[in-house]
Amino acid sequence: MGKALFYHGILFFTFLVSPTVHETQSLAAPEQDIWDEYNALRIQYTPIDADLAEKSWAFVENHKTAVTVSRMAPSGAIVTNLSFGFPFYDVIISKALAISGLGSISAFVNSSWTIFPLAAAKASSSFIFVDTGDSFHVNWDNFILTNTSHKDAMKFQASLFKNGRIQFIYMKVPQNLAFIAAKSQNDISIGVAHKFVEKFDKGYNQTHHLGQIISMKKFKIQDGTVIRFDPLPSCPKYKDCKSCVNAIVPMDQRHSRHCYWCPEIKRCSSKRDHLQSAWIWGNCKSEEVSDPLSCHAPKPKKETKTEWVPILKLSPIIIIIAALGFASKNPRCFSRTRSIMRSMMVRLRIIKSNTYEISNAEPTFARYADGDVSLIRV
């Protein structure tokens, strides 16, 4: 982590913090336990857990490999890499993280994701960050909002764990933070966000906006507050039919739901996640698969209908051709054959007349077990 690139003139909101030693620490009973809109994140809010907050803060402050960044320009940021892969929705983050003095961590290249324990449009701060090998932490230790009446320095931390957990800890914040955020034109916000474009076959693309914004009116942020974001099992992570339909994902603390596979768009969904709209335009409702045995089953073929009238017309012709063939091989029987042919021609006229009546009537058929059908009444 000694190598850090300083980049000026950008605004990136993202922060990754996650200490290995804290993964085993229990969190005080959360006051709020909510799930995001698409059942992809579980958010636990604990108003005060002073013990966890103090230990987490001291861990970063005293770590021997910690990197200290003095106060930066408002538009400045540090770009660094992770020594491990951090799973965040559909991406594994390890390269080019921009740590901003504005209180956030984000993707350096395209800002497709952002993690912000307390992001502001206008602020200045110094911070310390450390990478433990399977966790990443950032302490903003002198965070001052600009363009507001509040001038006291704030302290807060963000941590990213290798298992996908995100943790925010607040060491020193004003009691009226919600009021300051509401009255300020500083765009102060807390949460996580991820924007990505999903590409489907036939050239169709869909943009998804995932994440969770924490309401400072609903969740009071004070000294010792802890917020955790834990990833939940989700159907879209399954990429083939069999693994998809065998999966069950939670919908809330008490309910779960099966996953479904859509052959048309080649996606797995609970039909309540971010693929809801794709399930509609992809005509997945009529094509969806829920049984593993149906994953490779061919589509049923349409039953062919037997045309009876053409067969009735064709039968006398076949008989006449057969008679001519017999006569050509037996010249002595020619007169006899000619007599038979005359008789057949008369019968053909009668059949032709009756066929017209058949085609305009409602015939009755008998269907046998082997699938054959016979005309039994005209």
Nearest to 126 by CA among 159, 98, 90, 99: 99
pLDDT of residue 9: 35
pLDDT, tens digit (0-9, with 9 covering 90-100), for 300-347: 544 545 444 444 444 555 555 655 565 565 655 556 656 655 665 655
pLDDT, tens digit (0-9, with 9 covering 90-100), for 236-268: 999 999 999 999 999 888 889 999 999 999 999
Strand, helix or coil for residue 304: coil
pLDDT of residue 325: 60
Average pLDDT value for residue range 7-24: 36
Q: What are the phi and psi torsion angles at 285 (to 5°)?
A: -60, -40
pLDDT, tens digit (0-9, with 9 covering 90-100), for 103-140: 999 988 777 899 999 998 888 889 999 999 999 999 99
Note every long-range contact of 340-345, with CB atoms under 8 Å and residues 24 or more positions apart, other chains counting. 344/316, 344/319, 344/320, 345/320
Q: In angstroms, rounded to a whole number, what is the distance separating the alpha carbons of residues 107 and 48?
A: 30
CA distances to 45, 150, 223, 227, 263 from 34, in Å: 8, 31, 21, 11, 33
- Coarse DSSP helix, strand, coil percentages of the chain, rounded to the nearest 5 percent: 25, 35, 40
pLDDT of residue 205: 85
Average pLDDT value for residue range 88-94: 89
By CB atoms closer than 10 A (0-12, 13-18, 19+), residue 139 is buried
Question: pLDDT averaged over the chain?
Answer: 78
pTM over 0.75: no
DSSP state of 74: T
pLDDT, tens digit (0-9, with 9 covering 90-100), for 356-374: 444 444 443 333 334 333 3
Nearest to 99 by CA among 122, 130, 61, 59: 130
Is the pLDDT score of 6 beyond 60?
Answer: no
CA distances to 122, 214, 247, 274 from 189, in Å: 12, 8, 35, 23
pLDDT of residue 362: 43
pLDDT, tens digit (0-9, with 9 covering 90-100), for 149-167: 777 899 999 999 999 999 9
The region of weakest confidence among 146-150, 344-348, 351-355 is: 351-355
pLDDT, tens digit (0-9, with 9 covering 90-100), for 208-232: 899 999 999 899 999 999 999 999 9
Any alpha helices (H) in the chain, and if so which ranges? 50-61, 177-183, 241-245, 276-281, 284-287, 308-329, 334-359
